[in-house]
Amino acid sequence: MSDSKSPKSATERKYFGTDGIRGTANVHPMTCEVALALGRAVAHQAKHGDHRHRIVIGKDTRVSGYMVEMAFASGVCSMGVDALLLGPLPTPAVAFITRNMRADAGVMISASHNPYEDNGIKIFARDGFKLPDAKELELEEFMTCDDVEAIRPTKDEVGKAFRIDDALGRYIVQLKSVVPPSMDLEGLKVVIDCANGAAYKVAPMVLEELGAEVVALGNKPDGRNINHNCGALFPQNLAKAVLEHGADLGVALDGDADRLVVVDHKGEVVDGDCLLALTAQSMMADGTLAGKTLVTTVMSNLALDRAVEGFGGQVIRTQVGDRYVVEAMRAGDFCFGGEQSGHLVYLDHASTGDGMVGALKLMTMMKQRGKALADLKKVFVPFPQSLVSVKVQDKKPIAELDSVRKLIEDVEAKLGGDGRVMVRYSGTEPKARVLVEGPDAGQVDAWANEIADTMRSILN
């Protein structure tokens, strides 16, 4: 199976990808000029009613965050809207603060797991949910229209910028509410790797306030070390620390802390699909999995469907991107979903993926059941899966790549109903993703690399 299109046809989108706008900072489209134009567009789109309008702006720890933040805030103020500057905070914290402060929109400046030289901009509506494709296209249209000059405010109608000093405390209170009031985390020793990113303060603080013994890694950002040999991209460091400190588990976050990677006390990485299966089982058992349904993306392992069906539930799949998971959850009135990459979405607690909410839910589960994660994770055994990334210079539709298409069809025929092939372009990077699942690990790996090599030779 191939997926050559981004939502709403990639050719119609000038700036937005799968998760906001992203690229090398100070290189188009991640320039001050684009940030200012987008700030104007978001402010214009958010203005409804006669009240004084406000937009909250958060960021991760990249050195370019100052530049992008100031440019975006200038665009907001130029449209007569106030900019509320939160400073370094996780993406889910910005979504929460947007709702909590009754702001008209929220903005997160982050390139998530990308290296420090990149940056990005994500937009949240006033309800804390990411914008749908249609709203993003409206923003793009306003950014390039000629109507701005006619609607510029002047005098005292120009917006102001304010620093919000209590945003961190508000989010800490929200996170602590995830753990039942009658419970704490005493007795758990946790290694937390903050990726030198947006959660470098809040993650250790929450765990310590809840009573856990905490070993903090990646909590000394310098503007350039975000995601560098730390965090969710480098779970081997987390595994090593868990073993060295004799911890009960380890949690690694990415740069903006909207996803997590978990390691058990044996130093073994627990797959994101395993976390989804484990949580679905627990929620099915206590009757809190709405519609007995888990929502995930096409990237999740086929074994997840079979595991959840074994618990008496069902799996619904969406295209890649946690916002599409959330859209499907809201449409079906479901409460839990996520991605294989570690985005876990609990709509009862957050409007987007939240690495710390996922971690706290997992620790609560361990405490309630009195079991180690190494024992809990046995509910899920994944099919062998190989995922290969291919750097590409041109994202030609895969259906037009005859040799690649024929190779995919050949592999799918050999797999029959015991596996699958997924080939798609990344919405945030110049890469293609080749995923193959099947019963034989060696064969799956060989097929994935064969397809990847073929794409590499054609597209580069």
- Residue 396 forms part of a structural domain: yes
Q: Are residues 33 and 112 in the same domain?
A: yes
Query: What is d(CA 434, CA 390) in angstroms, rounded to the nearest whole number?
Result: 8
Among residues 111, 13, 106, 66, the alpha carbon closest in space to that of 352 is found at: 106
Q: Are residues 355 and 275 in the same domain?
A: yes
- Residue 2 forms part of a structural domain: no
What's residue 327's pLDDT? 95
Q: What CATH number does residue 425 fall under?
A: 3.30.310.50
What's residue 114's pLDDT? 95
Query: Residue 449 is part of which domain span?
Result: 385-459
Q: Are residues 153 and 13 in the same domain?
A: yes
| Structure tokens, 400 | 């037009």
Q: Are residues 121 and 257 in the same domain?
A: no
Provide the angle, in degrees to the nearest 10, between the axes of the packed helices 355-369 and 202-209. 20
The pair phi, psi for residue 140, each rounded to 5°, is -60, -40
For β-strands 344-346 and 336-338, DSSP reports them as: antiparallel
For residue 52, CA distances in Å to 95, 96, 125, 127, 135 come to 20, 20, 16, 17, 22
- Residue 4 forms part of a structural domain: no
Query: What is d(CA 119, CA 110) in angstroms, rounded to the nearest whole number?
Result: 5
What's residue 10's pLDDT? 43
Q: What CATH number does residue 296 fall under?
A: 3.40.120.10
Non-local (6+) Cβ contacts of 362 within 8 A are 249, 262, 275, 278, 279, 373
Q: Are residues 66 and 161 in the same domain?
A: yes
Domain boundary among 231, 248, 266: 266
Q: Are residues 323 and 369 in the same domain?
A: yes
Domains identified in the chain, total number: 4
Q: Are residues 390 and 347 in the same domain?
A: no
- Residue 372 forms part of a structural domain: yes
Q: Other C-beta atoms within 10 Å of 39: how many?
A: 30
Q: Are residues 211 and 109 in the same domain?
A: no
Q: Are residues 219 and 140 in the same domain?
A: no
Among residues 234, 262, 267, the alpha carbon closest in space to that of 366 is found at: 262
Domain boundary among 135, 165, 195: 165
Q: Are residues 143 and 26 in the same domain?
A: yes
Domain boundary among 330, 350, 379: 379
- Residue 3 forms part of a structural domain: no
Written in H, E and C, the secondary structure of the chain is CEECCCCCCHHHCCCCECCEEEEECCCCCCCHHHHHHHHHHHHHHHCCCCCCCEEEEEECCCCCHHHHHHHHHHHHHHCCCEEEEEEECCHHHHHHHHHHCCCCEEEEECCCCCCCCEEEEEEEECCCCECCHHHHHHHHHHHCCCCHHHHCCCHHHCCCEEECCCHHHHHHHHHHCCCCCCCCCCCCEEEEECCCCCCCCHHHHHHHHCCCEEEEECCCCCCCCCCCCCHHHCHHHHHHHHHHHCCCEEEEECCCCCCEEEEECCCCEECHHHHHHHHHHHHHHCCCCHHHEEEEECCCCHHHHHHHHHCCCEEEEECCCHHHHHHHHHHHCCCEEECCCCCEEECCCCCCCCHHHHHHHHHHHHHHHCCCHHHHHHHCCCCCEEEEEEECCCCCCHHHCHHHHHHHHHHHHHHCCCCEEEEEECCCCCEEEEEEECCCHHHHHHHHHHHHHHHHHHHC
Q: Which of 2, 110, 112, 426 is catalytic?
A: 112
Among residues 192, 171, 15, 182, the alpha carbon closest in space to that of 90 is found at: 171
Q: Are residues 351 and 278 in the same domain?
A: yes
- Residue 136 forms part of a structural domain: yes
pTM: 0.89
Instruction: Measure the CA angle with vertex 181, ends 180 and 183; round to 5°.
Output: 70
- Residue 73 forms part of a structural domain: yes
What's residue 387's pLDDT? 92
Q: Are residues 367 and 398 in the same domain?
A: no
- Residue 371 forms part of a structural domain: yes
What's residue 2's pLDDT? 46
Instruction: Collect the ranges in the chain with pLDDT lower than 50.
Output: 2-11
For this structure, is 110 an active site residue? no
